[in-house]
Structure 1
Amino acid sequence: MNTVKKVHSFSLIFLMGMVFCFAQGKRSSGDDYFFQYQYQSAVRAYEAEMVKNALTDQQLLNLADSYFETNNFNKASETYLDLFKKEVEMGTHHFNKLLQSLAKTSDKERMDAFLATMSTQFQREFLENFEFNTQLLENGNMRKEMDFQIFNLTGNSPQSDFAPSFYREKLLFSSGRTLDKKRRYEPAGEGYLNIYEANLRPNGQVVSALPFKGIPSSNYHKATPFYSERLNSVLYVLSNTEDGELAFDDNGKNALSIGMQTTNGAFRLLLKDLSTSFYYPFYDEASGKLYFSANFEDGYGGTDIYYVYTNNGQIMSAPINLGPRINSPGNEIAPFVFEDSFYFSSDVFYGLGGMDIYKSTVQGESFSIPINLGNQINSSDDDFGLIIRNEGEGLLGYFASNRPGGKGGDDLYGFKVNEKPGLRTLTFKGKVVKPYDNSSTVDRAAVRLWSSNGTMLAETYSDDKGNYRMEIPWEEEVLLESSKERFSTFSKKLSSEELEGLQNSSYDIEISLYDDLVEEKEGQKVVKMGKFLFGKSQTALTDEIKKELDKVVTFVEQFPSAQLRIETYTDSRGGSSTNFRLTQSRSDAIKRYLIQQGVPNTSILYSIGYGEDKILNNCTNGVFCLEVLHQQNQRSLVVVLNDNVLFN
């Protein structure tokens, strides 16, 4: 079903536009049917009018929408494509309908071609969401099927029932069941929406569904309730009225507002605009944010999810869009937060059906890639409005769907499960840093994930603060790799157990800048070390010397292709042959230590003692010098022989 229907079989008719007056200029019969949501009649009228006169671009767009709403996806896609070729201005929500139509007709090649053509029209986050979920669903990357059953609630009616909400030990929900046959909502052919309450049984079923008396009475729509224990209030949407009658804006539109009724207290309107409807309120008690859906002009498609900051329910900010990580060119509704998971429903084209339920992880003020919950919850029809809570040793949840086998348009379904349902993913996030200075981050470093068979699973680059983030379908083993020009390469294989431990934490990647670890000395590149001295006539390595040589070990670990030469020198004191032997022994001692610490023997091409051959100052044989000047000539260097070709 489409957006109007998404909130409920006739709910989108109710929740995505509401009633229009019909005196806004000259219109055809097709227009009248279209704006009354009588899409099948609109199709017949527009097609009849086309025989006599050409339709305007707007009427053709209305016809395309009417085809879409009546599931004639072949004609819908053709009409949308014709309008696109004519360069008729269409919003991204129409592009979403076009892509949905192509997906419904299994015309994947045309869908991919159109998406490639329009890729610049979409946000980067949306394209990432699309690629990720497509891979997830097409490759069947689901966690092992969980043992739980979805059951239809016995309290469903022949009319539409949707938008469940926990209310103490009861369940609140919206319904189009008719109480007064004289008062009907004509576009849907059902009664005006009302809120009902039902008792919850231990098995998750409901009994004794009756109109909810905890809110003010009204002759018009009341729907999508949410009960906040902290506020001791029920939040819900209701028709805008004035003196008990529907209130319209200057264009003849009647919209929905969000109200809050405190138990045994006062009612107050929280969000109201005669030209904008607000849907599906959800109050997050942890953050004090009030989430809701709305169709503002600054959105990313149809209906987007927003939030406002509140102080005990009192609105304290302007609406804030959740951004393109959550909102798409389609319609997003029914926000719900449980623990660290953000659930919502979307009719974005790459789902399993019309409207699917997605789950994203809350990460401070941002969100992870929303993941389709898969075919255990979602179906090829509309599935929306999921809620979930802890129940005994497991979880109890409910949602609405118009899948076959129900009792009415949309039915309520329940499920009991031991863990959160959905497709499993791996999330990697953290910073790329220098290991010798963790406060120094590395920007524009490539970060890649590889499968056990050598397939690259994902690639990203660290941002200007060194942050990186990647999310992939679950793998039992991966290779994490990071690199940048003139930096070392990080590479680590992670097992299933290690991956489990990473999912709720950050993982910093350490890579070293080559130029930080080497320096120019005596006309050649050498590994950077602090000055150290052997004991007089000694070859033994002190702890101080070993500490400096460990920097060479680290350097070779970071740059394993480096080829080294160890050089040791002494001062002019003593015999020259004795000094040659002494420096050779010292170079050999250094080599032995480095090999013991894991440096490959093949990395050290030479270890040479030069004796007193290269005196750096005037302290040659027979010249009196202070000790500090003689010590300038006592030195050991680790030269990088292939410095000039190391990064070619």
Structure 2
Amino acid sequence: MKNIKHIIAVVFTFIIGLINAQDINIEKISKNYDYLAYVTTSEILLKVAEKGYESSELFQKLGNSFYFNNKMEDAVKWYEKLMNLEHQNPLDPEYYFRYAQALKGIEDYKKSDKWMKKFKEANPLDFRSIAFDENKDYLSRIEERSYKNVIIKNLEINSKLSDFGTTPYSDQIIFASSRGKSGMIYKWNNQPYLDLYSATKQDDGAYGLVEKFDDKINTKFHESSVTFTPNAKFIYFTRNNYFKKRYRKDDKDFNRLQLFRAELGENGTWGNISRIHFNNDSYSVAHPTINADGSKLYFASDMPGSIGMSDIYVVYINEDGTLGTPENLGVNINTEGVESFPFINKKGDLYFSSTGYPGLGGLDIYVIKDFEQLRNKKTNTYNIINIGKPFNSFSDDFAYYENLKKHTGFFSSNREGGKGDDDIYSFTIGDCKQELAGIVKDFKTQDLLVNATVTLFDALGNVIETKKTGADASFSFQADCNDVYLIRAEKEDYSTDEKRIEAINSIDNLNLKLLLKRDKQKVKLGDDLAKTLDIPIIYFDLDKSNIRPDAALELQKIIQVMKEHPEMNIEVRSHTDSRANDAYNDALSERRNKATIKYLVAIGKIKASRLRGKGYGEKRLVNRCSNGVKCTEAEHQKNRRSEFIVF
């Protein structure tokens, strides 16, 4: 049920009242629309559209009504009509983004990418645009990262309404559900308000005996998303801004979400419920998760300073159980979209759901491996990985939880084939070992490099295993699936090469090629130092012979080699391409040759007796591009070269 979850994750507002809208005039229903009672509003708007009325406002409201209720086929229909009216009124680029997301919801990824490109053109500095631009091949990368050895199961306890968010507690799981048969109805979706429920694990491993979790924690309004301290003495949970029978709203008449804490009494019941000190009537705070040692609590919020519709925050838990000052995890994680439902596992990996990164559609689940360790090292950039299928789909996927030791866990989704709106799924990851195999070669000659050292590192740079290549220059490591590794090859007289392997979820073998460039090379008479030192063309400005700064940098390499080897003498050879006439090219190459030698003597303090040179114009072409032959710029460039021959 994207509607409830979307409010929790994105807008963070819960509305009680529903304004009766009898008139089909758009102006008459604007207030109803603003109050997010989309079920009723969309019906009225549809009647307006069916009468043949067209306007940007009408199509925006219709598109949004279906978009926020996860009816993407209808959202696409009305957003498309909105785009067709774009010439009449400029659109907020956010509608390009929503249209692109809705298209993913019907698996039209090609068209979605087209509108994401338009969104990027309109908002190039938006973090969602940057993420899209940096991950153009996101679909293939997600496919590569997807699991082949995982079993997911729709839990028997799911109802026809919304069930989501799973936290283990003793032999139970605690989750949110709107299955209540009595009490107030939430006008967004005409379903009962969410309460917290427990389900007990049975002998066969299934969950049953569903009952309300706690009467003091549950109220007549929404409760969801819980986390327990490691000693299980405290529970943090999400609730409407409702405390001590007082229901609070912000200045826009919206009721926000807040975090609460309850304490386990000696009699085994929860009590002493208190509000978290940074709750506020004007913004929402929700979806807590506590790390392994109980020192930090992560949550989602749209508080002032947030980058997007909701961001991930962290706050330290003091020794007395109070909380410190919240800190936004920053622009390297949060985007202008939705980041919500954080979960931190025992190893310090951070999972969260987001609409801000390229994904399969709706909310996708992402992970930053070893997040807490990296953050302790003051890392400013993180590798944000879409965890792939079957966890992610073209619908909303969120509220991830895992037990690392048992390779099991839960997540929630409103994907097709479920029992209700949002459903809870369990998963089991089968045993999986990934063979990281490859070969080490010389970058230039492609010769096999025997006795090279190959090292396997974990994501934090800790050495796991080191091997030497044999006669066939191959190497092989056995690694766990679903992790991040770095493989580095080294050999004396060579520079290193390394490859990072991200989120290995496949049991298919990898064949890696590590190519090492010679760092220490033998130089003999007749060798060209330009090739040895990887020096490109010594560039000059058009029709000029003075040394440019970029050329000076390359010439410093020659100077350094000649200083280290005083017995070495160099012949400088300057060449041009075949364009312009022969006499012009001869004179031009000669001027540039003399300028090069002059620089080596004057700036490099190289004795003139160790240098000689000549300009050859276009006399020594290295390819077919002679006078009159049509060639590409790249082909001509190969002839515009400088050579530094040892004599």
Structures share a fold, TM > 0.5? yes
Tell me the CA shift for residue 385 of structure 1: 0.3
Cα deviations by residue, 1:367-421 (Å, 9 ceiling, x for unpaired): 5132111112112222110011234xx3221011122232221111111225799
Match of 1:209?
210
SS at match of 1:219: coil
The C-alpha deviation readout for 1:463-495, integer Å capped at 9, x for no partner, is xxxxxxxxxx99998999xxxxxxxx9953347
Q: Deviations over 1:52-79 (max 9, x none)?
A: 9988876654333124233223334335
Asked if the contact 2:173/2:198 (under 8 Å) is kept, the reply is yes
Say how many residue pairs are matched: 465
Asked whether 1:246 is paired with 2:247, we answer: yes
Q: Which of 336, 361, 365 pairs up with 1:329?
A: 336
Q: In the superposition, relative to structure 1, how do residues 88 and 417 fare at CA in structure 2: closer, same or farther (>3 Å)?
A: same
Match of residue 256 from structure 1? 257
Structure ID, larger Rg: 1
Give the TM-score normalised by the residue count of structure 2.
0.60
Give the 5 Å matches for 1:38-49.
38-39=37-38, 41-46=40-45, 48-49=47-48
Specify whether residues 67 and 490 from structure 1 end up closer, same or farther in structure 2 by C-alpha distance, changes over 3 A only. farther
Aligned: 1:412 with 2:424: yes
Aligned pair partner of 1:111 in 110, 115, 139: 115
Residues of 2 paired with 1:77 and 1:218: CA distance?
38
Separation in 1, partners of 2:224, 2:503:
43
Q: Secondary structure at the match of 1:252?
A: coil
The aligned residue for residue 173 of structure 1 is 175
**Shift in CA distance, 367/255, structure 1 to aligned 2, threshold 3 Å:** same
Letter in 1 for 2:397: D
- Structure 2 match to 1:306: 313
Counterpart position of 1:97:
98
Offset of residue 327 of structure 1: 2.0
- In the alignment, is the contact (CA less than 8 A) between 2:360 and 2:393 conserved in 1? yes
Distance of aligned partners of 1:476 and 1:387 in 2 relative to their CA distance in 1, 3 Å threshold? closer
Please tell me the root mean square deviation across aligned C-alpha atoms, in Å: 4.8
Distance 2:116 2:198 in 1: 45
Cα distance per residue 1:511-550 (max 9 Å; x no partner) = 99xxxxxxxxxxxxxxxxxxxxxxxxxxxxxxxxxxxxxx
SS in 2 for 1:255: strand
Letter paired with 2:328:
N
Contact 2:200/2:207, CA 8 A, preserved across alignment: yes
Structure 2 residues without counterparts, runs of 5 or longer:
266-270, 437-482, 505-515, 520-553, 572-605, 615-641
Q: What secondary structure, in the 3-state scheme, does the structure 1 residue paired with 2:144 have?
A: coil
Q: For 1:355-374, list aligned pairs within 5 A.
A: 355-361=363-369, 362=371, 363-364=374-375, 365=378, 366=380, 368-374=382-388
Are positions 1:295 and 2:302 aligned together? yes
Counterpart position of 1:581: none
Measure, in 2, the Cα distance between the counterparts of 1:261 and 1:34.
36
Measure the CA separation in 2 of the matches of 1:643 and 1:336: 67
Instruction: Give the superposition deviation at 1:330.
Output: 2.3
Displacement after TM superposition at 1:247 (Å): 2.7
Match of residue 62 from structure 1? 61
CA apart distance, 1:282: 1.6
Distance, in Å, in 2 between the alignment partners of 1:499 and 1:152 is 25
Mapped partners of 1:218, 1:239: distance in 2: 9
Residue 142 of structure 1 aligns to a residue in which SS? Answer: helix
1:176 is displaced (CA, Å) by 0.7
1:212 shift after superposition: 0.9
Distance 1:186 1:216, change over 3 A: same
Helix, strand or coil at the partner of 2:331:
coil
Distance 2:130 2:612 in 1: 41
Consecutive unaligned residues of structure 1, counting only runs of 5 or more, are 425-472, 481-488, 501-508, 513-555, 569-586, 588-602, 607-635
> Which of 296-305 and 407-416 deviates more?
296-305
Identity %: 22
Amino acid at match of 1:17: T
Give the counterpart of 2:14 among 14, 18, 37: 18
- In the aligned structure 2, how far is the partner of 1:165 from the partner of 1:417? 18
2:146 and 2:251 mapped to 1: Cα distance?
A: 54
Residues 12, 185 of structure 1: alpha-carbon distance in 2 compared, 3 angstrom cutoff: farther
| C-alpha distance 166-646 of structure 1, shift in aligned 2 (>3 A) | farther
Distance 1:251 1:150 in 2: 42
Classify the secondary structure of the residue corresponding to 1:208. Answer: strand
Q: Alpha-carbon deviations, 1:243-266, whole Å to 9, x = none?
A: 525332332211221101111152
Alignment of 1:276 onto 2:283:
yes
Deviation at 1:357, TM superposition (A): 0.8
1:354 corresponds to 2:371: no
Letter in 1 for 2:396: D
> Deviation per CA, 1:107-144, whole angstroms, max 9, x where unpaired?
14632540341242413xx4453345542422565258
Counterparts of 1:216 and 1:55, CA distance in 2: 48
Q: Equivalent residue of 2:281, what SS? A: coil
On the 8 A contact 2:410/2:425 being kept in 1, the answer is yes
Distance 1:401 1:421 in 2: 28
**Structure 1, 61-70 or 168-177: larger mean CA deviation:** 61-70
Q: Check whether the contact 1:347–1:356 (CA below 8 A) recurs between aligned residues.
A: yes
2:317 is paired with a residue whose SS is strand
Aligned-residue offset at 1:169: 2.9
Q: Which amino acid aligns with 1:239?
A: N
Q: Would you say the 8 A contact 1:293–1:304 is kept in 2? A: yes
- Distance, in Å, in 1 between the alignment partners of 2:203 and 2:112 is 45
Separation in structure 1 between the aligned mates of residue 613 and residue 303 of structure 2, nearest angstrom: 59
Q: CA deviation at 1:208?
A: 1.4
Change (3 A) 1:498 1:289: closer
TM-score calculated relative to the size of structure 1: 0.60
Contact 1:100 1:349 (C-alpha < 8 Å) held by counterparts: no
